[in-house]
Structure 1
């Protein structure tokens, strides 16, 4: 969601003062219709977003196959950091899924349920004329829906993880196994498998009938 400014009060002079900006990360489960809103003291880079996804996966996901959909934002979603996190989450550990699909929907032609959730929060915000603390935003979000309410997830600083060690195990391959150049910024679908932890499957389309290509991102070759 767009940044939420704190405080919000009736006097306009506060606009020109230094303010605290809060970030709201929403994860919407298309199966249950339940949306979780993540709150914590952090930035909104790929490591922070990936850490929230890991927390969600560890806490709420109990399926073998997990499908993740996001926009194509390069700095947050389509990059080596989030790719390394998805690779890590398929390795046998405290995560249930053994196959992860990550689909990037087409910019300007897609509408996420999260967009509707954020719009609901924006509408509810109009009822709160004075917001003094970040916790006041929790009140706004939790009261935005009367049924199937948004679930607030407060994560601690230790829940945010660095991907430095994961990235050290991977290399940014320029050619796929078919010896053809990999155009990373055109990828629309990524797939990760526990049985092949250093192989990434991808395609430049969200069409299920299109075949996957593959690329080995391990730095150590057999």
Structure 2
């Protein structure tokens, strides 16, 4: 990872990004015991650090706007690559921990593969995963500065209050903070219907995402995902044919992930409402957009969507 970060400073055609999710931040943040017994609203921060200039970026959103699964994390990466990354970059390395639910799965790979196929300069994107037990990322330094600064802010009522803390926690090379919008969160649902998520590599060996140490996607191989397991690179073919025609994927296949926001558990909404007397009146409008639903509380924020369905390799009428 350090070698990739150093190379990004000298090679204009190469960029290295490290990314991670900060621990959830509660709203409202109030120094009273009442809050300890209440469910609070979570604020999420997906951090991205660019090796080329050592600049940290915070992508912030609320629990009632989106979850914190692979598609939300991938959406932050997509937005950075499209709007912030140097257009000269041809090779991109992405470093993260090995959390399967967010960083090492078919959804985030498909999202970046669709972007790669449409990007004017990028040729390869490589996901690289730190070994378990050795997962300290540069983003963790940024997160620690945020959490240290929070010691001087006992009362925080809105997302904007947290954003101000993030912007001011570093005097030198301050963090860049972006408030994610509904339109920024994209889904892979259309893309999933245009590929076959096979269970075996072309070598007939079984695919195991949890053992993968590195994943590479290449523009010249539109329907292949290269996965390194135990030091050996194996090719996974995701090509799908309909009436003899191979289906391609691109960022045109993105659709909105949470166009109307994400409902929170009704019990949590009830707890938040019961704390309104502790929140200043000029901050109450911030909580009015929330919608509740009768369900178990979504503790991890991954949402209730089903896992990606594995399509059959044989007997699929659309492939014949």
TM-score between both structures, scaled by the size of structure 1: 0.91
State the Cα distance separating 1:81 from its structure 2 match: 0.8
Match of 2:122 among 84, 87, 97: 97
Q: Contact 1:55 / 1:159 at 8 angstroms: preserved in 2?
A: yes
Verify: 1:77 aligned to 2:103, yes or no: yes
Match of 1:37 in 2: 58
Which 4+ residue blocks in structure 1 deviate beyond 4 angstroms? none
Q: Distance in 2 between matches of 1:68 and 1:2?
A: 20
Q: Distance in 2 between matches of 1:125 and 1:96?
A: 40
Verify: 1:126 aligned to 2:151, yes or no: yes
**Stretches of structure 1 lacking an aligned partner (at least 5 in a row):** none
Match of 2:94 in 1: 68
Q: Contact 1:89 / 1:97 at 8 angstroms: preserved in 2?
A: no
Q: Residues 83-121 of structure 1: CA distance to partner in whole angstroms, max 9, x if unpaired? A: 11121121034x642210001111112310011111111
Q: Distance in 1 between matches of 2:121 and 2:24?
A: 32
**Stretches of structure 2 lacking an aligned partner (at least 5 in a row):** 1-21, 247-320
Match of 1:59 in 2: 83
Match of 2:38 among 6, 17, 20: 17
Q: Distance in 2 between matches of 1:81 and 1:211?
A: 23
Q: Residues 155-187 of structure 1: CA distance to partner in whole angstroms, max 9, x if unpaired? A: 210111111011112222222222322222101
Aligned-residue RMSD, C-alpha: 1.7
Match of 2:112 in 1: 86
TM-score between both structures, scaled by the size of structure 2: 0.64
- Count of residues in Structure 1 that have an aligned counterpart in Structure 2: 217
Verify: 1:3 aligned to 2:24, yes or no: yes
Q: Distance in 2 between matches of 1:162 and 1:180?
A: 29
Higher alpha-carbon deviation: 77-86 or 142-151 = 77-86
Q: Distance in 2 between matches of 1:16 and 1:182?
A: 44
Match of 2:202 in 1: 177
Higher alpha-carbon deviation: 176-185 or 58-67 = 176-185
Larger radius of gyration: 2
State the Cα distance separating 1:211 from its structure 2 match: 5.0
Match of 2:137 among 97, 105, 112: 112
Q: How do residues 126-205 of structure 1 correspond to structure 2 at under 5 angstroms?
A: 126-204=151-229
